Copies of this chain bind each other. A is one copy, B any other.
């Protein structure tokens, strides 16, 4: 077999990947302070569209870092996103990750209301008496419900990571969140996913840790 593997030590793979991403981004200008998040999304997807589609409200990153340091919890709309978040890193500051999608009461209520489990999950999250960050990588209906809860002043998240993926109401639901006064990180357009939602959470955590040597 003639396939040649690059000789990179396990610990150096992430650093080398970020070097390649930085190289290929070339002259592309990213918003100062958002670079690690953008590059981590590209690292997670190998999709350079994230250098174009990620939108940050003014000061969103600083506010999110502050919230995490003060013990904010993260609510996801999939078990996949929950599985992908570095829960150990979050726990250092007192935060936990919640996902209510598999809860029986959520399934029952969604059926009763002819609604989605994602919608009902957001209502359940709104009843938590905790500082919250939402990481939504799948269900536009979750973002639509968050928009309503914000308008009704029933919820006031520290950050909404709005990165559902797909073809039905995904684009619109993200625009709705960008129309609120809540800090957001949104992947404008159709793209996103549970992996992207988790990776943005991890990027924020690693920015606090400042452990990764590719972060400058």
Contacts and interface: CB of A to CB of B under 8 A. Distances in A.
Each complex incorporates copies of this chain amounting to 2
A43 B166 contact: yes
Give the residue among A8, A10, A195 with the most B Cβ atoms within 10 A: A195
A170 B110 CA distance: 41
A31 interface: no
Nearest to A141: B10
A5 interface: yes
Contacts of A83: 78-80, 82-83
Which size bracket describes the interface of A in this complex? 35 or more
Interface string A33-50: 000000000011111000
A208 interface: no
24 contacts: A1-B176, A3-B172, A3-B175, A3-B179, A5-B144, A5-B169, A5-B173, A8-B169, A10-B141, A16-B167, A16-B168, A17-B167, A17-B168, A20-B168, A43-B167, A44-B165, A45-B165, A46-B166, A46-B170, A47-B47, A47-B191, A79-B84, A80-B195, A84-B194
